[in-house]
């Protein structure tokens, strides 16, 4: 099968809700470039993420979930800015043309793409070690996008849904027969294989949150980016981190907190907002059925050290790299 046959067969998907013209695609895949019509008054938000086999995912994971993760991690970046997904391109590097694999990959890809109304405008197909690189483009009203650099002192810090399951899933993967594992373990694995990009939450935060990002490398590491960009520090109560019952049941409270604070791959949003927006935000999130939890607040930094500080039972608490925890020395 040639490159063009692969594209025609697996990546020329049409769906009933959206066609090229309703998606603002003036010229579809097939030429050297696609031509896109941005909506009036909108800014474009663009981001690329590459997933390399056995670095960012297990190559023997189902192709359906590989495709889902690849697109979800990109959509998550749009969610973090409050942008609405519009278009994406797909650069696929394949060791060989395996039709069964491609059919599953294509199914996983377009299930998620159709769910969020994002249109595949083109890409590239090459031979080599398995890797997937996706570029997403979204739209956001002029000058409203949520950024990392606008957190304010005394802002509350919150996260969507629950944290830690995806990182904990690596304890159970790779797994041959996932459907035969206990349900709690299947749920934890699903958090890793099928992350849900928080697009509704991101758009709900527009005009309310001062800063936001998505959690891909772990809450503490990612919140550090807001601190650095906003030149502030963050104070987090580890007791407040939202944890799933499955995670606590499988690993215990302490280890669950560790996964939630330091593990990656959650693709939840972390955001900050002024205290006087609390009522408005509570109402909007409730209307949309979005779970979220306040976990701390932003502070002025001492001596220009912009850092994330944690407490557990109101005592200062630090994680160290080796996975061993101890109380902070400078308190």
Binding segment for ligand ADP (CB under 6 A), chosen from 30-38, 65-73, 255-263, 279-287, is 30-38
Nearer to ligand ADP, 30 or 207 (CB): 30
C-beta neighbour count of 89 within 10 angstroms? 18
92 contact, one of ligand ADP, Mg ion, none, CB 5-8 Å limit per kind: ligand ADP
Tokens for 276, please give them.
């006087």
In a 13 Å sphere around the CA of 288, the CA atoms on its Cβ side amount to 19
Strand pairing category for 308-312 and 233-237: parallel
Closest CA to 308 of 181, 213, 244: 213
Q: Distances in Å between the alpha carbon of 24 and those of 89, 99, 120, 260, 293? A: 15, 31, 12, 39, 37
Q: Does 50 bind ligand ADP (CB under 6 A)?
A: no
Q: Does 32 bind ligand ADP (CB under 6 A)?
A: yes
In whole angstroms, give the CA distance from residue 113 to residue 138.
Answer: 13
Q: Looking at 108, 123, 197, 263, which residue binds ligand ADP (CB under 6 A)?
A: 123
Q: Looking at 23, 25, 29, 160, which residue binds ligand ADP (CB under 6 A)?
A: 29
Q: Does 54 bind Mg ion (CB under 5 A)?
A: no
Q: Looking at 120, 188, 219, 270, which residue binds ligand ADP (CB under 6 A)?
A: 120
Tokens for 192, please give them.
């890793």
Site string for Mg ion, 124-143 (x = CB under 5 A): x-------------------
30 contact, one of Mg ion, ligand ADP, none, CB 5-8 Å limit per kind: ligand ADP
Q: Looking at 25, 78, 90, 140, which residue binds ligand ADP (CB under 6 A)?
A: 90
Tokens 């997904």 -> residue: 85
Q: Does 122 bind ligand ADP (CB under 6 A)?
A: yes
């Amino acid at each position: 099968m040639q490159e063009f046959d692969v594209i025609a067969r697996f990546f020329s998907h049409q769906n009933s809700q959206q066609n090229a013209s309703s998606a603002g695609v003036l010229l579809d895949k097939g030429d050297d470039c696609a031509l896109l019509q941005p909506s009036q008054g909108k800014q474009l938000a663009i981001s690329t993420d590459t997933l390399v086999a056995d670095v960012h995912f297990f190559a023997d994971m189902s192709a359906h979930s590989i495709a889902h993760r690849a697109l979800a991690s990109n959509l998550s970046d749009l969610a973090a800015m409050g942008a609405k997904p519009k278009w994406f391109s797909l650069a696929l590097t394949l060791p060989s043309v395996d039709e069964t694999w491609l059919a599953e990959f294509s199914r996983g890809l377009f299930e998620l793409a159709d769910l969020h109304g994002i249109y595949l405008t083109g890409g590239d197909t090459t031979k080599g070690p398995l890797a997937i690189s996706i570029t997403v483009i979204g739209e956001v009203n002029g000058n409203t996008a949520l950024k990392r650099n606008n957190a304010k002192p005394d802002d509350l810090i919150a996260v969507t849904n629950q944290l830690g399951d995806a990182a904990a899933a690596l304890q159970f993967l790779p797994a041959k027969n996932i459907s035969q594992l206990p349900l709690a373990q299947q749920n934890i694995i699903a958090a890793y294989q099928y992350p849900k990009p928080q697009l509704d939450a991101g758009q709900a935060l527009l005009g309310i949150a001062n800063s936001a990002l998505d959690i891909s490398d772990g809450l503490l590491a990612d919140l550090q980016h807001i601190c650095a960009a906003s030149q502030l520090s963050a104070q987090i109560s580890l007791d407040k981190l939202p944890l799933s019952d499955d995670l606590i049941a499988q690993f215990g409270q302490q280890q669950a907190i560790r996964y939630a604070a330091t593990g990656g791959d959650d693709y939840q949003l972390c955001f900050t907002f002024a205290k006087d927006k609390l009522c408005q935000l509570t109402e909007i999130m409730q209307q949309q059925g979005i779970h979220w939890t306040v976990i701390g607040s932003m502070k002025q930094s001492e001596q220009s050290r912009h850092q994330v500080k944690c407490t557990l039972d109101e005592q200062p608490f630090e994680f160290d790299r080796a996975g061993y925890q101890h109380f902070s020395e400078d308190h």
